[in-house]
Amino acid sequence: MDHRSEEHKQGHSETFDTPIGSSSAIKISKYTQALIKVWEEKAKIASTGSNISVSQTVSFAAFLYEKMRNAVEFREEHLIRRATIERIIKRRMILNDNARDIAEPLIKELLWARYYENNSINEDKIEIVQAIIDKYFFLKNELCAGRSTKEQNKISDFFLSVLSCEIEESLSPDPKREAFTNYVYQILRPYLSPFDEGGESGRDVQVYIAVERTFSHSDIHLLRFHLLKLSLPEIKTISWRQADKVLENLYDVYTRIEKDIQNPLGDKIRSLLGEQIPPFLILRDVFEQNSGKLSEIITDDNKLKAKVDHACRARYDESRARLRRTGVRSFIYILLTKIIFAFIIEIPYDLYIEGKLAYLPITINALVPPSLMAGIIISVSIPGDDNTRRIYNLIKGIIDNDPDTLPMTNSGVNISKKIKSKSLIFNTIFSSLYLLTYLVSFGSIIFILILLRFSIVSQAIFIFFVTLITFFSYRVIRIPAEYQVITKENFLTHLADLFFLPIVRVGQWLSGEVLTRFNVLIYVLDFIIEMPFKAIVEVFDEWIRFVRIKKEEIV
């Protein structure tokens, strides 16, 4: 199944066009047939009452604020709405500990900010969303009772995660996404052998987590929610009054989910299975673009080849646009953070400690990080026709793949043995070499900065932003790599990776641990600006509604 190591089934000189009259039927598995059935089912809409409406004048102001707010917190686009739901709930909890009766203002805030189209949410959802909030707050309070403050904070974080995920799912259900994720999981599950510790169930959980991360791009919050639904399916159907059904096992489920997400094998499994994901992404595009005639397309060689070619070309073009868009977002994020650091730390240090402004370090600190990001993004290459041909051959193998017919042997990759096979002496040598790359990479940077007469503070700021930029650039250049199954590597590529990896890892740590927890701008926006701003927006929206009602009363 490893498509990066297999030989091409078609030569480079072959075009992707299919000769007329060469069509042949394609056999598909029962899993693919079931996926097609889910995809072609019509959505059932059952609601009563009217839809919720908000003022478009007020909405524009809230929309602009949300755009600015999201620019200072780097997050993938499909994760922003869930994060916003959690942020709104946290803010309203300041004056309302148990979040009673906040469903309506929560939904209105989402409509103001245009996360949902105006008049697209039925009033029935207010009661449904409030029931979800009441349920999880009750469960949280029950589990927190009698535990340490540290444990209570962890439990609260967990339940706010799953609470916001279930609210988003309730407001915008996506059964097709869930069906496709499960499809990918079923196909890739036999790729790994059962673990030495945890057996088949441990393997299954880690494969599912890897698929969620690589295929669906789920973050830790979505992982918690999906694993909770798998462990306790009844969690979605109960109310807080029926919580006794799940309370007995809930703490054990919570601790197991957190342990599974933090499994030390997780990163290696994600890297291994991530290589198998590109054809699934293109196959999903084919499904999304041809919902009404999937059976006809998937079973016809000519039609499937044409649709795969179209989907690949569209994705390659979109990758270019996403590179630019994500690059701009990352640049704004870094720029805003850099301005704060300059005014709070660098300039005061130069004026009051050094006695004068050091213009060269300030100029270099301002210009080098964004120039570095621009250079890295420009160097990214987009996949071509060879990649498309390879994806098509892989898709044909996927849609005919029936894991149930595989021989009952441990023929998959044994990740546990791969880890244990490393001897102590090799592990020590490689760890020492890896540590040496940190010393060489950062030692070289510091040496050059000293030659340029950077102060210790200017050096720290330069390293901070270079590592952050390198990490964000790495994430950006992974965008076209999502659809790439043909990779070109050489000695120089591996050598560059060796010395850039320490910089990327430090940038990752700074982004995840430091900026997330100590981002002053986020704190200012969320608690000093957002609270009064959203209160004013709410008052104006109610006033406009009041005036509209009074106008309607005039005969």
Stretch 354-366: mean pLDDT: 79
Stretch 310-338: mean pLDDT: 77
* DSSP letter assigned to residue 5: T
Stretch 458-469: mean pLDDT: 84
The pLDDT, as a whole number, for residue 86 is 94
pLDDT in tens, 497-515: 667 788 888 887 777 655 5
In angstroms, rounded to a whole number, what is the distance separating the alpha carbons of residues 309 and 286?
Answer: 10
Burial class, 259, CB count within 10 angstroms (exposed 0-12 / middle 13-18 / buried 19+): exposed
Helices of type H across 342-423: 347-349, 359-378, 385-399, 415-420
Residue 204: how many other CB atoms lie within 10 Å: 17
pLDDT band at 16 (very low <50, low <70, confident <90, very high): very low
The yes-or-no verdict on residue 258 having pLDDT over 70 is: yes
Is residue 54 within 8 Å of 118, Cβ to Cβ?
Answer: yes
Residue 379: how many other CB atoms lie within 10 Å: 9
* Highest mean pLDDT out of 22-31, 164-173, 331-340, 431-440: 164-173
The pLDDT, as a whole number, for residue 438 is 85
Stretch 39-55: mean pLDDT: 73
In angstroms, rounded to a whole number, what is the distance separating the alpha carbons of residues 3 and 200?
Answer: 24
Residue 70 or residue 523, greater confidence? 70
Q: What percent of the chain has pLDDT over 70?
A: 80
The yes-or-no verdict on residue 172 having pLDDT over 80 is: yes
pLDDT band at 374 (very low <50, low <70, confident <90, very high): confident
The pLDDT, as a whole number, for residue 125 is 95
pLDDT band at 42 (very low <50, low <70, confident <90, very high): low
Choose the weakest-confidence range: 170-179, 222-231, 425-434: 425-434
The pLDDT, as a whole number, for residue 309 is 94
Average pLDDT, the chain: 81
**Nearest Cα to 75, choosing from 220, 269, 174?**
220
Alpha carbon 165 to its chain centroid, in Å, reads 13
pLDDT band at 223 (very low <50, low <70, confident <90, very high): very high
The pLDDT, as a whole number, for residue 23 is 55
Question: What is the token pair recorded at 200?
Answer: 């088949």
pLDDT band at 19 (very low <50, low <70, confident <90, very high): very low
The yes-or-no verdict on residue 10 having pLDDT over 90 is: no
**Residue whose pair of structure tokens reads 């499937």 in the numeric block:** 304
Evaluated on CA atoms 336, 341, 346, 352, the torsion sign reads: positive
pLDDT band at 186 (very low <50, low <70, confident <90, very high): very high
The pLDDT, as a whole number, for residue 81 is 93
Measuring CA to CA, how many Å separate 490 from each of 202, 474, 483, 494, 495? 36, 18, 20, 7, 9
pLDDT in tens, 72-81: 676 778 899 9
SS3 of 49-78: CCECCCCHHHHHHHHHHHHHHHHCCCCCHH
The pLDDT, as a whole number, for residue 401 is 84
Burial class, 89, CB count within 10 angstroms (exposed 0-12 / middle 13-18 / buried 19+): buried
Question: What is the token pair recorded at 211?
Answer: 């698929």
pLDDT band at 7 (very low <50, low <70, confident <90, very high): very low
- 192 φ/ψ angles, rounded to the nearest 5 degrees: -110, 140
Is residue 4 within 8 Å of 485, Cβ to Cβ?
Answer: yes
Residue 153 or residue 547, greater confidence? 153
pLDDT band at 372 (very low <50, low <70, confident <90, very high): confident
The pLDDT, as a whole number, for residue 417 is 54
Stretch 441-456: mean pLDDT: 89
In angstroms, rounded to a whole number, what is the distance separating the alpha carbons of residues 274 and 358?
Answer: 46
Q: What percent of the chain has pLDDT over 90?
A: 36
The yes-or-no verdict on residue 39 having pLDDT over 50 is: yes
Residue 217: how many other CB atoms lie within 10 Å: 13
Buried b (16+ CB within 10 A) or exposed e, 489-514: eeeeeeeeeeebbbbbbbbbebbeee
pTM passes above 0.85: no
The pLDDT, as a whole number, for residue 13 is 34
The pLDDT, as a whole number, for residue 25 is 79
